[in-house]
Structure 1
């Protein structure tokens, strides 16, 4: 496994989080979307717009030279502007993105586990996410205790109980 470290995401990470939203949207190389297309879509920009709001929290993985290679974060959404994985007000939705060359090296799992810990420490009872069917990340989520609670369209909404 290649070495990486984790640190808390901060306000100045917004550009990198934007990169990771694009990576998450483009998990399937055969259905890749141009960056400008992803960032023009409010379905994706809602995960990064105004980062870092008071209820936002996350973590960034960095290589041994301090270059960011992945990120996982959560935020809360209102009922009138829900994220893909919205289940209820007060249940944060997480987003996870890892640079392609860092996938399958443990960074995603480490990021996910740290964000789950952060959400638990912040007092949240559940954490939710949305993943497109066919994305291999669903195996990671299941192995970390996330359970599918809905299957809208081509996506799975998954929830992990934190208590």
Structure 2
């Protein structure tokens, strides 16, 4: 694999973040939901709708030619419209997606570390995420300090303490 770089996400990256929500939802080979079905579903659209609100923060990974290959971002979601990994008011929930060909090449780790550093710098005490059981990304999350705090139907909520 060629090298990659990481840069902060900007408002114009919203479309690519939508693509990464689709990648995250379709992590399991052979079980791909159509893009329009993922993007229009309320449980997934909450992660990208209206990007980039003042509290939305993210990073993109770019290949050597400058094409986006992955993204990680966080949002503060309200108690009235929580995400899969919602743990409380004021705790950002992160979302991460990486193009399949770039998985297991350090892209997800670099994005996760950049996002964690930014959340810490922004004064957050915790970050949360949700991961389906069986997703190989659990190994990455655990190695970066996330721990399961809630088990749900087929998925777990993981939290990383930042302070």
Which TM-score tier does this pair reach, normalised by the shorter chain? over 0.9
Report the alpha carbon displacement of residue 15 of structure 1 after superposing the two structures with TM: 0.5
Residue 9 of structure 1 is matched in structure 2 by 9
Does structure 2 conserve the Cα–Cα contact (< 8 Å) formed by 1:72 and 1:94? yes
Root mean square deviation, CA, Å: 0.7
Residue 103 of structure 2 is matched in structure 1 by 103
What SS does the corresponding residue of 1:30 show, helix, strand or coil? coil
Please state if 1:115 is matched with 2:120. no
Counterpart CA distance in 2 for 1:57 and 1:128 is 14
What SS does the corresponding residue of 2:2 show, helix, strand or coil? coil
Counterpart CA distance in 2 for 1:73 and 1:124 is 14
Report the alpha carbon displacement of residue 155 of structure 1 after superposing the two structures with TM: 0.7
What SS does the corresponding residue of 1:32 show, helix, strand or coil? coil
Counterpart CA distance in 2 for 1:2 and 1:66 is 11
Counterpart CA distance in 2 for 1:89 and 1:25 is 24
Report the alpha carbon displacement of residue 99 of structure 1 after superposing the two structures with TM: 0.5
TM-score scaled by length of structure 1: 0.98
In structure 2, stretches of 5+ residues that fail to align are: none
Report the alpha carbon displacement of residue 64 of structure 1 after superposing the two structures with TM: 1.0
Residue 146 of structure 1 is matched in structure 2 by 146
